[in-house]
Amino acid sequence: MAIYRYDQYKPVIAEGCYISDSARVIGDVVMGENCYVGHGAIVRADHGKIVLGRGTAVEENVVIHTRWKQECVLEERVTLGHGAIVHCDFLGANSVVGMGAVVGRECRIGVWAIVAEGCVVPRGYQVEDETLVAGVPAKPIGRVSQANQEYWQWAKDVYERFAQEYEQKLFRLD
């Protein structure tokens, strides 16, 4: 694992988390139980604080950063898709940021909200609970359906299992 203290700030990592050896967790980061931080991801809290709630999945090549002396809070079971860039203030429980999406400074994403793949959520934008947004810039395109929630519950369970199993099942071969 690549976990770094920055100045006096040292990450606090709960039981059952997986952090890839190619990921970077830096500074004032607090991770709840069963979080997954994938290969190439960067969770960088050198300016402020980042909180990852229980069961949060930070997939491969995600970047999370925060504003000077501010917090970026991800509630429980948030999913950040591959290559997403997250610089917001708040992501509600069970929310999803799709692959390659960008969530700008001072944004708030509601509970069970979904930011579509490739979407750009501009600075200060607020996504309401259970709202699906897409486009550049982000615009509401619908409500999160029961089928969406069922799929994402399944996907969130997969990453919580990865957090538990990777330490036992992942072996470097060279």
Closest C-alpha among 39, 29, 35, 31 to residue 4: 29
Count of residues in the chain? 174
Reported as a single tens digit per residue, the pLDDT across 75-86 is 999 999 999 999
Does residue 100 form part of some domain? yes
Tokens of 158: 């997969």
Phi, psi torsion values for 81, nearest 5 degrees: -70, 160
Does residue 174 form part of some domain? no
Please state, rounded to an integer, the average pLDDT across all residues of the chain.
96
pLDDT band at 1 (very low <50, low <70, confident <90, very high): low
Reported as a single tens digit per residue, the pLDDT across 121-172 is 999 999 999 999 999 999 999 999 999 999 999 999 999 999 999 888 989 8
Does residue 52 form part of some domain? yes
In the chain, how many domains are there? 1
- pTM here is 0.96
Q: Which domain holds residue 116?
A: 3-169
Does residue 29 form part of some domain? yes
DSSP H helices in 11-170: 146-169
Predicted pLDDT of residue 119: 98
CATH at residue 119: 2.160.10.10
Reported as a single tens digit per residue, the pLDDT across 95-118 is 999 999 999 999 999 999 999 999
Reported as a single tens digit per residue, the pLDDT across 65-75 is 999 999 999 99
Assign 44 to helix, strand or coil: strand
Flag whether pLDDT at 41 surpasses 70.
yes
Averaged pLDDT, 10-33: 97
Predicted pLDDT of residue 167: 84
Does residue 138 form part of some domain? yes
What are the DSSP E strand ranges found in 40-174?
42-52, 57-58, 63-65, 71-74, 79-80, 85-86, 90-91, 96-97, 102-103, 108-109, 114-115, 120-121, 126-127, 131-134, 139-143
Does residue 155 form part of some domain? yes
Does residue 33 form part of some domain? yes
Does residue 39 form part of some domain? yes
